[in-house]
Amino acid sequence: MAQESSTKSVRKGTTSCIEYRHRKIRCIWPSEGAETCQSCLARGRKCEMQVQMMSTSDAVTLTSRARIQHLESDVSSLWTVVRNLETKLGCVPTEAATRPQPQPQMENARGPQDKLSDDDADSHASDLSPTNPPTHLLQLFDNGLLGSDGNASATPSRHAASLHKAQGSSALRGLMPSRENMLTITAHASSWLSLYFALFPVINLPRTSDEMLSQYDKLQDPNADPVAVAALLLSVAITVQQAPDDNADRAATSIKDASSFIKDVSDCVERIVVSDDALAGTLEGIETTLLFLRL
């Protein structure tokens, strides 16, 4: 009990006993030298002051260096026991190279010329520091590599992708009506465009007949985006599909068979845009795919 009491002491600055410290309530003492607070006295509880454990020599926290030295000492003792057992049993002694050598002894055995200089040590440490991480680890966190423009250098795969997009754009523009027929077709587009955008707000699709004509002029470029060409072509096909049957203007010179034209547009857009994850995965591709589903 004497030893236990010597390792404990009342915490300085405490104003609550153990019971009310747990309740997060401050104790009220009848007088300055009272041994029981008013709350414990009213409840008939034993009032115990808060105490703290005193540090002893046995409880001193060892540093990392001290723990390593203690571990090396234990390993050295184990090797001594192993060598003694090998001698008694007549076994072949374990090679010294397999036993770990203490670092200080190795440094003492070497000459001053063999020791690393401070500059070499600092250089080696800087190579492993967080400010100089390995390149292969940095690539794991480089979001630019995931984008389409992450690598500025031209590669065969990039050239192949550009060629594929150019071929797809050319195939889609081959189904596009002439501008004279576009003037006739877009005259019937306002009715369904206004209803479509009221139900499905989109960003990258033409909203009016004038925007369809303006988009038509922009997409005459051989390097036009195939997704934009497909979106305009789908708008034209839906307009042809929604036009009245008795309207003679629908039978334009470039669209002699409306059903065949709509089927050709649907097949071409599905093959070039919808089936291509790289194109269909963009915002423009998603909007074009939704328009394709409504054809």
75-91 pLDDT, tens digit each: 999 988 888 888 888 77
pLDDT tens string 180-209: 888 888 888 888 888 888 888 788 788 888
Which of 105, 134, 165 is at the close of a domain? Answer: 105
**Are 161 and 241 contained in the same domain?**
yes
Residue 237 sits at φ, ψ, to 5 deg, of: -65, -40
Structural domain count, the chain: 3
Is 46 among the domain residues?
yes
* Beta carbons of 258 and 240 less than 8 angstroms apart: yes
On whether both 162 and 282 belong to a single domain, the answer is yes
As a residue count, the chain comes to: 295
Task: With CA atoms as reference, report the closest residue to 16 among 7, 3, 8, 25.
Answer: 25
Global pTM value = 0.46
What is residue 147's predicted lDDT score, i.e. its pLDDT? 55
Domain presence at residue 129: no
With a cut of 70, list the residues of the chain below it in pLDDT.
1-16, 19-22, 24, 51-62, 94-161, 244-254
- Same domain flag for 13 and 73: no
* Residue 54 sits in the same domain as residue 81: no
Residue 138 included in any domain = no
